[in-house]
Amino acid sequence: MQSGLKKFDKWVLEFITEDPGKNPLMGWESSYDTYSELNLEFKSKDLAIEYAKKNNILFEVIEPQKRKITKKSYADNFIK
């Protein structure tokens, strides 16, 4: 499988729901906290951190992992 690199240059600020519950009518998971539906994208890590500090939002930075690229040939699928 080959994964693309689209949108890997953005930093995302996600809000975590504190009190998820079950909707009694439909049985779906729901919450009164509408921030859980919100994702903010930033061009750089510094802009995301600055926004979080400016608005008194507790945050955790998760650095992207380094990708391991293994060169393969199509013929490798048939060689044992």
pTM of this prediction exceeds 0.75? no
Domain limits of the chain?
11-77
Task: List, for residues 3-51, the tens digit of each pLDDT value.
Answer: 666 667 788 888 877 777 777 777 777 767 777 778 899 999 999 999 9
Q: Is the pLDDT of residue 1 over 60?
A: no
50-77 burial, b for 16+ CB within 10 Å, e for fewer? Answer: eebeeeeeeeeeeeeeeeeeeeeeeeee
CA distance 60 to 58: 7
Question: What is the pLDDT, as a whole number, of residue 48?
Answer: 92
